[in-house]
Structure 1
Amino acid sequence: MPSLNLHLFSTPGKDDISDVIEASRPYLEDKRDPIVAYLPLGSLYAERWLELNETAFKGLGRLQMVNTELMRQKEIEDILRDASLVYIPGGNTFLLNHRLHLSGISLYLKKKIQAGLPLVGFSAGTVLCGPNILTAASMNTVGTSFFDGLGLTPFNFSAHYPLDSHGQSVKDEWLADYHFFHDNPILMLSDGAHVKVDGKKTTLVRGEAWIWRKDEEKEKLEEGKLIVL
């Protein structure tokens, strides 16, 4: 029976997107001309990064970029239907979520992923997977009123979590406001961290990350260990 297959990062790699490619490879390398549904919807300037991404995936998969302003809902759904993988990079999380909802594809995307379509995402693409996007560090410059995420995990996410104590204390003070209104845990991923969701199991594959449950102290996670609520 199909289940969730998510690879979530804070950053796509060290000065490149090598971590994204490494996570994507098992889902593409044995297929004939596999399609990667590429959703750079958090960026106002996605075309600038298209060549870099196409080059990185060359010989592994063929990127089909989704543009919600220029494509109809059915066109986007056709890409997702034929895709072997969906890849959602970073950018402004509020813009990303706004475009997904406004285009009408958010629910279809969620259903495809729940039915087994693998997802690789980083930064905004990671935050999107939680119940809501309220722990995103982006500014809501688009003025969206859509705050529900894809709801693929019970965790909210915070990307680019600092490693230094001062940076953490500033971020923690800000994130504490979320728990004033909401009960679900927050996963805080430092740059370089990789979290894998396999069905109902969530694991820190590598890197440094923390979980913060409401009314508890945050807990540093161990590589290779399952993350529990």
Structure 2
Amino acid sequence: MKKIIIASTSTLHDGDYLDYLLPELKTFFKQVKTLTFIPFARPSGISHEDYTAKVQLAFSKIGIEVKGLHEFEDPLLGLQEAEAIFTGGGNTFLLVKQLYDHGLMPTLIETVKSGTPYLGTSAGSNICGLTMETTNDMPIIYPPSFQTLGLVPFNINPHYLDPDPDSKHMGETRETRIHEFHQFNSQPVIGLREGSWIEVLGDCITLRGQLTARIFRKNQIPKEIETASSLSNLN
């Protein structure tokens, strides 16, 4: 049975790394003693080692040891034998390229679908959708495919921002960009606001957190859904 948390962000503006999610993660990972961390997205160019150390500090607060996937002699085996997996945020293009270059994408899909608990934040959440094409990130490197894990039957736009009526910026909004996506693609997109996450337990997909989420479907008016709403039929 799939067991997944797909979070918009790792850090809220008034807290430390993962702090707002730790109460949820303590329950979610209650049977877990060690976690395998995928550091490939490298936010701000941080090294794999420094990124992993940051995650180790956060998970030490709930008694979980962390080992970076880059530390394994055989990364495929590292995923297959993981008690739990966390993919952090950063640049989605870089993350996806690294997963493909190391031949890890099929194994990661199989491992999570077989029931290994998975946490994703930001880029690590982006890849839970059908494709990475609704990322907010700059294309700093070219992955061999935009197809990702397909753990949920829709795409995700983490860090979703509503239009600011007082802003002097005249460029496109997130909503505009998602409408552009739907000119060429048919899958729904969920705009996931900061502090919200999606819980996947088997076939049950639920919005969690304090905020509503915005649902975009091709050729339809966007719709707000309340927290605790089911997303299981969003396809």
Cα distance in structure 2, aligned partners of 1:28 and 1:218: 34
Point out where structure 1 has 5 or more consecutive residues left out of the alignment: none
- CA positional deviation for 1:57: 1.2
Asked if the contact 2:87–2:120 (Cα under 8 Å) also holds between the matched residues in 1, the reply is: yes
Cα distance in structure 2, aligned partners of 1:28 and 1:5: 10
Structure-2 residue corresponding to 1:204: 207
Asked if the contact 2:162–2:174 (Cα under 8 Å) also holds between the matched residues in 1, the reply is: no
Cα distance in structure 2, aligned partners of 1:185 and 1:150: 16
- Per-residue CA deviation, residues 44-89 of structure 1 (Å, 9 max, x unaligned), is 313333333212211521111012xx755xx112222332211011
Structure-1 residue corresponding to 2:59: 57
Cα distance in structure 2, aligned partners of 1:134 and 1:30: 34
Asked if the contact 1:20–1:120 (Cα under 8 Å) also holds between the matched residues in 2, the reply is: no
- CA positional deviation for 1:20: 4.1
- CA positional deviation for 1:106: 0.7
Cα distance in structure 2, aligned partners of 1:82 and 1:24: 20
Asked if the contact 2:92–2:137 (Cα under 8 Å) also holds between the matched residues in 1, the reply is: yes
Amino acid at match of 2:25: S
* TM-score, normalised by the number of residues in structure 1: 0.88
1:217 aligns with 2:213: no
Question: Secondary structure of 1:7's match?
Answer: strand
Within 5 A, what are the aligned runs for 1:6-85? 6-14=4-12, 15-16=15-16, 17-31=18-32, 34-43=33-42, 44-45=45-46, 46-58=48-60, 60-67=63-70, 75-85=74-84
Structure-2 residue corresponding to 1:5: 3
* TM-score, normalised by the number of residues in structure 2: 0.86
Summarize the Cα distance change of 1:174–1:13 in structure 2 as closer, same or farther, 3 Å threshold.
same
Cα distance in structure 1, aligned partners of 2:72 and 2:84: 19
- CA positional deviation for 1:165: 4.2
Q: Which segment drifts farther, 216-225 or 7-16?
A: 7-16
Cα distance in structure 1, aligned partners of 2:129 and 2:30: 29
Cα distance in structure 1, aligned partners of 2:119 and 2:197: 10
Structure-2 residue corresponding to 1:136: 135
Asked if the contact 1:29–1:60 (Cα under 8 Å) also holds between the matched residues in 2, the reply is: no
Structure-1 residue corresponding to 2:110: 111
Summarize the Cα distance change of 1:54–1:99 in structure 2 as closer, same or farther, 3 Å threshold.
same
Asked if the contact 1:35–1:82 (Cα under 8 Å) also holds between the matched residues in 2, the reply is: no
Cα distance in structure 2, aligned partners of 1:28 and 1:93: 25
Structure-2 residue corresponding to 1:184: 187
- CA positional deviation for 1:178: 1.0
Structure-2 residue corresponding to 1:123: 122
Asked if the contact 1:27–1:84 (Cα under 8 Å) also holds between the matched residues in 2, the reply is: no
Structure-1 residue corresponding to 2:96: 97
Point out where structure 2 has 5 or more consecutive residues left out of the alignment: none
Q: CA RMSD in A?
A: 2.0
Q: How many residues align?
A: 221
